[in-house]
Amino acid sequence: MNRSKPSRLIAELIAAVSALFLLAAGFVISMASTMGQPFTDRLAESEVQALASMEVSALFGNDGPPGNEHGTANPFRAVAERLQSLFLNPVAMLRNMLPQVAPSDPGGGLQTSLLNSIAAMAESRHTLVIGWLPSTNPATCVRWIQDNPGINVVSPTWFHLADASGNLSGSVLPTVVQYAQERHIQVWVLVDNQFSAALTHEVLANPRAEANLIDEIAYQASAYHLNGVNLDFENVAAADRNRFTDFVGKLHARLRSLGIDLSLDLTPDIVQLDDSEAFFHAALADEVDQVVLMAYDEHWATDPDPGPVADLPWVERSVNDLLDTGVPANKLVLGIPLYTRFWYVNTDGSVQSDAVSAGAVQTILNQYRLPLGTWNDSLDLMFSQYPTKTGYAEVWYPTSQTYEDWLQLVSDDGLAGVAVWSLAWSDATSWASTVHALRLNGSP
All structural domains of the chain with their residue ranges: 4-62+70-81, 110-436
Q: What is the pLDDT of residue 360?
A: 87
Comparing CA positions, the residue from 83, 185, 264, 226 lying closest to residue 423 is 185
Tell me the average pLDDT across 217-229. Answer: 98
Report the alpha-carbon distance of residue 359 to residue 132 in Å, rounded: 17
Q: Of 301, 381, 356, 279, which Cα lies nearest the Cα of 83?
A: 356
Q: pLDDT confidence of 426, banded at 50, 70, 90? A: confident
382 close to 105: Cβ distance less than 8 angstroms:
no
- The answer to whether residue 118 scores a pLDDT higher than 50 is no
Please compute the mean of the pLDDT values over residues 185-198 and round it to a whole number. Answer: 97
The helix/strand/coil state of 17 is: helix
Tell me, what's the pLDDT at 150?
Answer: 77
Confidence bin at 372 (pLDDT 50/70/90): very high
Q: Would you state the torsion angle of the CA atoms of residues 275, 280, 281, 282, taken in this order, to the nearest 10 degrees?
A: 120
Beta-carbon count within 10 A of 87 CB = 21
- Looking at residue 276, what is its pLDDT? 79
Q: Is 380 left (phi over 0), alpha (psi -120 to 50) or beta?
A: left
Dihedral of alpha carbons 95, 98, 99, 100, sign? negative
The pLDDT tens digits of the residues spanning 239-276 come to 999 999 999 999 999 999 999 999 999 998 767 677 87
Query: Would you give the DSSP letter of residue 271?
Result: S
Say whether pLDDT at 40 is over 60.
Answer: no
| CB-count burial class (<10 Å; 0-12, 13-18, 19+) for 106 | exposed
pLDDT number for residue 380: 97
Cβ–Cβ under 8 Å, residues 336 and 310: yes
What's the confidence (pLDDT) of residue 166?
98
Q: Which one, of 154, 145, 168, lies nearest residue 220 by Cα?
A: 168
Of 178, 161, 179, 181, the C-alpha closest to 169 is: 161
Question: Is the confidence at residue 10, as pLDDT, over 90?
Answer: no
Q: What is the dihedral of CA 143, 133, 149, 152, to 10 degrees?
A: -140
User: What is the distance between the alpha carbons of residues 213 and 389, in angstroms, rounded to a whole number?
Assistant: 51
Comparing 8-17, 131-140, 402-411, which segment has the lowest mean pLDDT? Answer: 8-17
Residue 43 has pLDDT above 70, yes or no: no
Cis, peptide link before residue 135, omega less than 30° from 0: no
- Phi/psi of residue 66, nearest 5 degrees: -55, 135
CA nearest neighbour of 442 among 255, 109, 183: 183
CATH of domain 110-436: 3.20.20.80
Instruction: Give the gyration radius of the chain's Cα atoms.
Output: 30
The reported pTM is: 0.75
Q: Which of 299, 296, 298, 395 is nearest to 344 (CA)?
A: 395
Q: Is the dihedral of CA 208, 214, 220, 222 positive or negative?
A: negative
